[in-house]
Chain A
Amino acid sequence: MNPNDEPAPDRPATDRLDARKLAASRREAMRRRARRIRRSVAGLAVALFTAAFLAVYVQLASGHDPALTAAKRRTSATSLKASAEQTSTEAAPAEESSTSSSGESSSGESSSSSTGAESSSTETSESPSAVTTSQS
């Protein structure tokens, strides 16, 4: 026997049992904490995603698509520019008017002409022109 060896402490069986229980409870506490953190992270991610999704969905569903608004602004700018160009060249025919051999006519801005059965016109206004529905 090695003289340096000290005799093992003579712990009672109950102490060993307590130590095991303590270790097990610490392990359990660590697991609970890990679960709690995992749940919090997952919940937060889902909440953030849902909030972002709802915000975008409501924005688009309510007809306030930012891309469309930007397109509308561009259209207005183009319209103003085109209007200015047409004013400076009054005699020139409108770019988008068409003439065909069937007899329909073309006309410039804010004017129209027809041959009775068919007509073509170009008009610039701030809002879309009205359409009328009646029995056919």
Chain B
Amino acid sequence: MAAEITESFECFGSRCSVVVSGGTPESTAGAAASHARRELLSWHRRFSRFIPDSELSRLNADPRSEVPVSALMARFAQVALEAATMTGGLVDATLLDEIESAGYDGDLGHRLPLEMALKLAPPRTPASPAALERWHQIHVDAANGIIARPPGLKLDSGGLAKGLFADVLAEELSGHDAFAINCGGDIHVGGTAALERPIRVESPFDGRILHTFELAHTGVATSGIGRRSWLDGSGRPAHHLLDPASGRPAFTGIVQVTALAPSAALAEIHAKAAILSGPRLAHARLPHGGVIVYDDRSHRVIQPPPAITLRDLSALIQSPASSAAHHV
């Protein structure tokens, strides 16, 4: 295969990378990777809630009920709405006040080790949607670039934005032989050459590789409570995945979920919904496959649904008896 160009850099408070191989008539792999890096850094400045003059901060502080926004911000709001609609409000991007109340309002400072957070955590219960369902009050006019919501209702970009950015870049890089965009754990891989790329899932406890998927076109997202845990003002363990019903960090019995999906944004929605659903229902939230890591360090791999190949079809036609025997 052609040489792979890799750009690796800090962005969104974590490590990001862009891998591209093969050129197009418009761009070389190196130019495309550099462009993708510049775009991600620029989007970070626009979508960070920690930067006071970012587009997201200005939207959240805007006293108008209808706010003109950029096309990408409108698209993000649509993804946030889709996430809430798909999960019945379980994945809710309007909990910014709650997450700031829990202590995530800037630099986290001293981080709490995962084992310690799990020891101090309350009894495990699945999360559930908020009774208020504020997300119902958001309306997006993508054609005119307007977000309508009651003033004071704030959006949190979180992982959904990273998934969206990976998908937007994937659209731009779709003409190259192969590419992989990793926005701090939210990944989109693809390319015209349809080469299968190893996608490794890391343990939140010790960083070892729990499982490796080999896929040519997919979105991947990992959501969990391990990396960003802290003690709140009352000495309780906290993290950034909130139970919408209580507005408090959710301890469900799952510490990390990696989800596969056709897009990274959808994978992010599945991953968050799975972790919030708890161990009993998590696997049902992963229709395209994934890996669930539980509190007791055990994990479960859910393989993606098998793709039917020409070889499978011909084998089925030629020897149905042997195929049936194999399944028995």
Q: Which residues of A contact B (CB under 8 A)?
A: 58-59, 61-65, 68, 71-72, 75-76, 78-79, 82-83, 94-98, 100, 104, 109, 112, 114, 117-136
Residues of B within 8 A of A (CB): 1-10, 12-14, 17, 19, 21-23, 28-31, 33-34, 37, 159, 162, 177-178, 180, 182-187, 189, 192-202, 204, 207, 209, 212, 216, 220-228, 256, 258, 307-311, 313
| Number of residue pairs spanning A and B whose beta carbons lie under 8 angstroms apart | 178
Are the C-beta atoms of A135 and B5 separated by less than 8 Å?
no
- Complex: how many Å from CA A82 to CA B28? 14
Chain A residue nearest to B179 (CB atoms) is A128
Would you give 13 A-B contacts (Cβ < 8 Å), ordered by A?
A: A63-B216, A64-B309, A71-B192, A71-B193, A75-B177, A119-B9, A122-B3, A124-B4, A130-B200, A130-B212, A131-B187, A132-B202, A136-B159
Query: Within 8 Å CB of A71, what residues of B?
Result: 177, 192-193
Q: A68-B193, A120-B7, A120-B30 are in contact. List 17 more A-B contacts (CB 8 A).
A: A58-B313, A63-B194, A104-B7, A118-B10, A123-B3, A124-B4, A129-B19, A129-B180, A131-B19, A132-B182, A132-B209, A133-B182, A133-B201, A134-B207, A135-B185, A135-B227, A136-B162
In the assembled complex, which residues on chain A have CB atoms less than 8 Å from the CB atom of B19?
Answer: 128-129, 131
Bound CA span A68–B227, Å: 40
Q: Which residues of A contact B216 (CB under 8 A)?
A: 63
Q: Which of A61, A120, A122, A133 contacts B199 (CB 8 A)?
A: A133
Write out the residue numbers on chain B whose beta carbons fall within 8 Å of the beta carbon of A79: 1-3
Q: Which residues of chain B are within 8 angstroms of A130 by Cβ–Cβ distance?
A: 197-200, 212
